[in-house]
Amino acid sequence: MTRRQLFAVCFFAVLLVLLYQIGVIFKPFLLPVLWAAILAHVTCPLHVRLTALLKGRETVSAGLLTLGIMALVVVPVVFLALLFIQEAGSAYDAVHAWVQSGGVKRLPALLASLPFAGRLQEVIARYVTSSGDLESFLLQSSKALSGFVMEQLTGFAKNVFLLGANFLVVIVTLFFFFKDGKRLLAGLYRIIPLEDAHKEKIFSRLDLTITAVVKGMVITAIVQGLLAGLAYAVLDVPVPVFLMALTILLAPLPFGGTVLIWGPVTAYLFWTGPIWKGIAMLAWGTGVVTTVDNVLRPMLIGQGAKLPVLFIFFSILGGLGAYGLIGLFLGPILLAILLTTIQIYREEYLSEPPPPA
């Protein structure tokens, strides 16, 4: 081994050790930085326009955008937290009032109005007759549920420092991504040991995928939540705003999604009557809310990122299991990079040489 080769081996060994140690140090901040990177990429066109309006003052534009995004996140979170506390108590009061007014005794008659509920009516009637503790059981269950919600909120308050620290990391990182993002990206572009044509393919595919995934997830969730919230309000469902917010939050989940909210709402409407409200909610949920998810999300993500729908499904599901909520975005992004590298490999190593002249 020559001196140059020995130096190269030692250099890369030290480099790998340093990269590992830096990775250990930066690991607690990885998820906040990824969220900041996604937010910065999505809002980058707005930053460019605002910088132009401010005559090239990028720092001012970065500060204004960061403050705006912080307000858009903090205000709804505080509002939903207060609403959640209020509705948790209201839910217990509603169950308590229903039980006290004789709702349990009227349960068999309510079930009689449902189609195909004859056998279920007999079982419920027998249970109501034989068990005098059903009312107390329902009251205790609703009280326990309300207490559970309050306990979770108390735990949330105990961890508010950690959540606040992560949010602060996102905000600070977002500001510097706005301010120095172009220079950071240019430096990363230069040190990647690939040809310029290959790097261009990877970065272009990465840009398309991030934009398509964020647009597909966010727009689909908002549309589904608004449509479901409209039904909640029209059908006079209790706490429609809170249910709409939960629908938006759960809409990106690959399994269940919005059904986890409008499904129980449908059962509640069938239970409390009139029966046409339950039928209307069921038809609206399956025919409109779910259809929007099945049509709009694959259309936005698949066409924008140019990824197969089956692979998108597995990448979202696997990303959710591996990385949590951010895996909904990270899974398709990693899939797009992998497919691009496979395309480069096929073009460089599997292409047949041209025939001799």
pTM for the predicted model, two decimal places: 0.65
Q: Give pLDDT tens digits for 29-85.
A: 888 888 888 888 888 888 889 888 888 888 888 899 888 888 877 777 666 666 666
Question: Is 261 within the bounds of a domain?
Answer: yes
Question: Is 214 within the bounds of a domain?
Answer: yes
Question: Is 340 within the bounds of a domain?
Answer: yes
Question: Is 296 within the bounds of a domain?
Answer: yes
Q: d(Cα 233, Cα 178) in Å, to the nearest integer?
A: 40
Q: Give pLDDT tens digits for 224-283.
A: 888 888 888 888 888 788 788 888 887 877 667 788 888 888 888 887 767 888 888 888
Nearest to 324 by CA among 77, 73, 35: 35
Question: Is 232 within the bounds of a domain?
Answer: yes
Counted domains in the chain: 1
Which residue range forms the structural domain that includes residue 250? 194-349
Question: Is 176 within the bounds of a domain?
Answer: no
Q: Give pLDDT tens digits for 314-344.
A: 887 788 788 877 887 888 888 888 888 888 8
Question: Is 131 within the bounds of a domain?
Answer: no
- Peptide bond before residue 274 is cis, with ω within 30 degrees of 0: yes
The answer to whether 243 touches 230, Cβ cutoff 8 Å, is no
At 18, is the pLDDT very low, low, confident or very high (cuts 50, 70, 90)? very high
